[in-house]
């Protein structure tokens, strides 16, 4: 299938590694060009070089908690490649722990970055996109069912799914799509940290795999391919939904 990605331009946040970088790899492989952002500008620049450098990828150091970041992303895309067709918005997960054990400061910081930073970036970019543009929010399966030990994520991610649905209704008449992606267990640094925090990483991984019908943890590229499709013109009638990428782990129909 031709995804129609040739020469299209996408912004990806939190993209120096993990799911964001995996998606960037898939987009570039199909002919798109990308702007990568991450709080660590040097790491983002290294990731852009891995993707082929300025002809294919450019990078900026940026924090979604900074209100100026979304407009910087838009301007960088246009200055570098002359257009903007969509975005993958991903931020690092909040610290582990129960909802009641998290301090006010932890909740406040997570809200500013994970929630408000995502909302601000989505609305800024959506307002700039032409018909056929698309935005995908990297959320979590905690949108549909709480995950033990991730209380802040359980509190914030479902709200972001609601925001994505609301924005899909608002921007749909302009031909702009918004979709939530729900990654399950994927072998990123985040999941390695969660396994390590259990005290017995191998046992934690085995227990996680036992709860997945495919009986394995996904590789980041498996998420990246789904995200690239969702952002592409090939998914032109897909909006206002949440798409699990979890090997069948969620039990709802």
Least trusted range by pLDDT, from 62-66, 89-93, 97-101:
89-93
Q: What does pLDDT average to over the chain?
A: 95
With 80 as the cut, is the pLDDT of residue 82 above it? Answer: yes
Looking at residue 197, its pLDDT comes to 83
pLDDT (tens digit per residue) in 149-203: 899 999 999 999 999 999 999 999 999 999 999 999 999 887 888 888 888 989 9
Q: What is the mean pLDDT of residues 1-13?
A: 96
Looking at residue 120, its pLDDT comes to 97
- Using alpha carbons, select from 126, 194, 120, 115 the residue that is nearest to residue 157: 115
Say which residue, 93 or 156, is predicted with more confidence: 156
Looking at residue 191, its pLDDT comes to 81
Looking at residue 196, its pLDDT comes to 87
Looking at residue 1, its pLDDT comes to 82
Looking at residue 86, its pLDDT comes to 98
Task: Record the pTM.
Answer: 0.94
Least trusted range by pLDDT, from 9-18, 56-65, 202-211:
202-211
Give me the half-sphere count of Cα atoms (radius 13 Å) on the Cβ side of residue 184.
23
pLDDT (tens digit per residue) in 21-33: 999 999 999 999 9
With 90 as the cut, is the pLDDT of residue 104 above it? Answer: yes
With 90 as the cut, is the pLDDT of residue 246 above it? Answer: yes
Looking at residue 126, its pLDDT comes to 98
Say which residue, 7 or 95, is predicted with more confidence: 7
Q: What percent of the chain has pLDDT over 90?
A: 89
With 80 as the cut, is the pLDDT of residue 92 above it? Answer: no
Confidence of residue 41 (pLDDT cuts 50, 70, 90): very high
Looking at residue 195, its pLDDT comes to 87
């Amino acid at each position: 299938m031709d995804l129609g990605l040739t020469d299209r331009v996408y912004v990806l946040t939190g993209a120096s590694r993990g799911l964001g970088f995996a998606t960037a790899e898939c987009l570039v492989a199909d002919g798109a060009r990308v702007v990568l952002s991450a709080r660590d500008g040097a790491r983002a620049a290294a990731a852009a070089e891995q993707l082929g450098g300025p002809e294919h990828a450019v990078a900026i150091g940026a924090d979604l908690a900074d209100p100026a970041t979304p407009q910087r992303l838009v301007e960088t895309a246009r200055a570098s490649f002359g257009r903007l067709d969509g975005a993958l918005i991903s931020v690092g997960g909040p610290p582990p722990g129960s909802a009641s054990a998290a301090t006010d400061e932890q909740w406040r910081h997570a809200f500013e970055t994970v929630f408000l930073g995502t909302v601000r970036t989505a609305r800024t970019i959506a307002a700039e996109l032409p018909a056929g543009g698309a935005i995908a929010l990297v959320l979590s399966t905690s949108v549909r069912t709480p995950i033990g030990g991730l209380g802040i994520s359980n509190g914030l991610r479902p709200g972001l799914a609601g925001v994505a649905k609301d924005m899909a209704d608002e921007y749909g008449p302009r031909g702009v799509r918004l979709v939530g992606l729900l990654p399950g267990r994927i072998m990123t640094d985040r999941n390695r940290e969660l396994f390590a925090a259990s005290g017995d990483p191998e046992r934690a991984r085995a227990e996680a795999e036992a709860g997945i019908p495919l009986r394995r943890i996904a590789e980041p590229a498996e998420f990246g391919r789904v995200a690239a499709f969702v952002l592409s013109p090939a998914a032109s009638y897909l909006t206002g939904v949440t798409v699990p990428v979890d090997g069948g782990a969620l039990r709802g129909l």
